[in-house]
């Protein structure tokens, strides 16, 4: 039995064939529009109080038909383009003969058309165009979802983002804001003397973070390469080279799990400032997020779930050690190695990976006990050195480093160090990191010798920052899943029912 969807598809294919038979190209090369829908509405507002002779202006607009309401001799169509929406007023006594035939027989919701005519306002006050000519620009062979009133199926929204953008204005607004947020971040940094650079995506060794990389093979040189897991090591080479302030906004790839806060590829901002430390970076970050929020949203306070988050500086500053003591009841300074800390966590009834080193166990305490409570913007300061192989020691303490992580809305949004620039200490840390990963059964990456060589030429005192752009967008747009702010998120493969092939 033929399904309703199949019947609709067949009807649209028949209309497509009729267009071809009538000599109408349903997919023409171009259409020269004079105005966007937003510009057409603005033009109407400008001329509607002027004398009649100044109102005799015609416009040419183009977009997708989102609704069709026939009422006797008149049909009302809603036309939407990238800027907005306008109503098409189609009277059979005004339309050309070809356009009237197209409207009556072969036009469907979802079709992309051009329309020319006079802008005016209907008796109900609706900004409209009195259409003389309709031109088919792209025949839609598939009906819009749920009769074009919206798309609620989450899986379909992520897998077929184009339908989500067509059907849901809220989705369009999120991604428009995302673009504005990224633009505002760039403006903030550019105004402070930072220069934007590009560094390799394919790297001979995956460094700058503790993460599982994606591996690929370069056939020309016969070697394996890694999709980058961080921007850090190449950006710091540029600090060595004499660029005092650099940043990159780029995609990062980590071969790890999926969650509402994690996607295997995501957008990261990393910036490095010579002659600065983590205190300078801390002040810069809180100022940047507050300014971006005000620039894009018109406010420094946003609604996130049931909470209102204020990004107005200064943000709360809390020692990591104290936060874990208060939330988890564990003082990690009392447990100098992984075995003793693991035993304490097991005694609390926690499930603990027996291969995790001390740094990752502390990070687990942070993630499980502290992070969910950090709703208002908060800096957690001074991490153990075994969690931070690229950061400088805190003066007077050989166990902690000058590092902060920034949290808001119960999730981490940024990470920063006073960067380690001693090449001998850095090599020692890399070797210790290698041993730890070997013990945990992970892929053991080669030490980046070229980066260590660069440090031997001298890197000035430097403050480094990493900001998860996707999570920042989540906060500023009130979204609780990272998939809602990434246009094409990674998803599990969708199972497809295989049709049985009849026997010959």
DSSP 245-310: EEEEEEEEE------SS--SEEEEEEEEEET--HHHHHHHHHHHHHHHHHHHHS-SEEEETTEEEE
The fraction of the chain above a pLDDT of 90, given in percent, is 80
pLDDT of 69: 94
The yes-or-no verdict on residue 169 having pLDDT over 50 is yes
Q: 126 CB contacts (<8 Å, ≥6 apart)?
A: 87
Strands 411-418, 403-408: pairing is antiparallel
The dihedral region occupied by 38, where left means phi > 0, alpha psi between -120 and 50, and beta the remainder, is alpha
The yes-or-no verdict on residue 145 having pLDDT over 60 is yes
pLDDT of 500: 43
Once rounded to an integer, what is the mean pLDDT over residues 197-214?
Answer: 90
Q: With bands split at pLDDT 50, 70 and 90, how would you rate the model's confidence at 306?
A: very high
Phi/psi at 362 (5° precision):
-65, -40
Q: Which of 391, 466, 486 is nearest to 231 (CA)?
A: 466
Once rounded to an integer, what is the mean pLDDT over residues 69-98?
Answer: 95
Taking only the tens place, the pLDDT of each residue in 341-380 is 999 999 998 988 888 889 999 999 999 999 999 999 999 9
Q: With bands split at pLDDT 50, 70 and 90, how would you rate the model's confidence at 114?
A: very high
The fraction of the chain above a pLDDT of 70, given in percent, is 95
**Other CB atoms within 10 A of residue 203 CB:** 19
Residue-averaged pLDDT of the chain: 92
Long-range contacts of 2-7 (CB under 8 A, 24+ apart): 5/143
Ranges 126-135, 143-152, 260-269, 419-428: which has the least confidence = 143-152
Q: With bands split at pLDDT 50, 70 and 90, how would you rate the model's confidence at 444?
A: low
Structure tokens at 128: 């409209």
The yes-or-no verdict on residue 501 having pLDDT over 50 is no
Q: Which of 3, 24, 34, 7 is nearest to 107 (CA)?
A: 24
The yes-or-no verdict on residue 502 having pLDDT over 50 is no
Once rounded to an integer, what is the mean pLDDT over residues 78-100?
Answer: 95
Strands 307-310, 316-319: pairing is unpaired
Q: Which of 134, 141, 135, 114 is nearest to 14 (CA)?
A: 141
Once rounded to an integer, what is the mean pLDDT over residues 306-324?
Answer: 97
């Amino acid at each position: 039995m033929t399904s309703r969807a199949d019947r609709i598809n067949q009807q649209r294919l028949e209309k497509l064939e009729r267009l071809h038979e009538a000599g109408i190209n349903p997919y023409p090369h171009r259409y020269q529009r004079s105005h966007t829908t937003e510009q057409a509405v603005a033009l109407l507002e400008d001329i509607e109080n002027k004398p009649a002779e100044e109102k005799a202006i015609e416009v040419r607009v183009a977009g997708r038909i989102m609704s069709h309401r026939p009422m006797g001799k008149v049909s009302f169509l809603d036309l939407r383009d990238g800027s907005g929406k306008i109503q098409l007023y189609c009277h059979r006594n005004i339309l050309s003969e070809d356009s009237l035939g197209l409207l009556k027989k072969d036009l469907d919701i979802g079709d992309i058309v051009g329309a020319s005519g006079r802008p005016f306002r209907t008796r109900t006050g609706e900004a409209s165009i009195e259409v003389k000519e309709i031109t088919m620009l792209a025949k839609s062979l598939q009906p819009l979802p749920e009769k074009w009133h919206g798309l609620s199926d989450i899986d379909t929204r992520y897998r077929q983002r184009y339908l989500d953008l067509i059907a849901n204005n809220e989705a369009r607004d999120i991604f428009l804001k995302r673009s504005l947020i990224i633009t505002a971040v760039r403006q903030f940094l550019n105004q402070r003397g930072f220069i934007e650079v590009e560094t390799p995506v394919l790297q001979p060794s995956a460094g700058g973070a503790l993460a599982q990389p994606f591996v690929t093979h370069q056939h020309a040189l016969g070697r394996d390469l890694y999709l980058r897991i961080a921007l850090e090591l190449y950006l710091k080479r540029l600090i060595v080279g004499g660029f005092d302030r650099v940043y990159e906004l780029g995609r990062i790839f980590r071969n790890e799990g999926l969650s509402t806060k994690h996607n295997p590829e995501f957008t990261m901002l990393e910036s490095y400032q010579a002659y600065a430390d983590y205190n300078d970076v801390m002040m810069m970050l809180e100022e940047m997020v507050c300014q971006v929020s005000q620039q894009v949203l018109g406010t420094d306070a946003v609604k996130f779930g049931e909470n209102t988050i204020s990004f107005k500086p200064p943000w709360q500053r809390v020692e990591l050690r104290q936060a874990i003591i208060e939330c988890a009841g564990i003082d990690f300074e009392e447990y100098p190695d992984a075995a003793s800390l693991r035993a304490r966590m097991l005694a609390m009834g926690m499930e603990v990976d027996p291969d995790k080193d001390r740094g990752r166990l502390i990070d687990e305490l942070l993630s499980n006990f502290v992070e969910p409570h950090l709703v208002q913007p908060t800096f957690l300061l001074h991490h153990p050195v075994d969690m931070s192989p690229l950061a400088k020691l805190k003066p007077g303490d050989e166990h902690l480093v000058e590092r902060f992580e920034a949290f808001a809305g119960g999730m981490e949004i940024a990470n920063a160090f006073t960067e380690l620039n001693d090449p001998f200490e850095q090599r020692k840390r890399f070797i210790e990191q290698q041993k730890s990963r070997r013990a945990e059964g992970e892929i053991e990456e080669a030490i980046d010798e070229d980066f260590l060589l660069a440090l031997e030429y001298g890197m000035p005192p430097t403050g480094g920052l990493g900001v998860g752009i996707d999570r920042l967008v989540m906060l500023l747009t009130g979204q609780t899943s990272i998939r809602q702010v990434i246009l094409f998120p990674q998803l599990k493969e969708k199972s497809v029912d295989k049709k049985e092939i009849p026997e010959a």
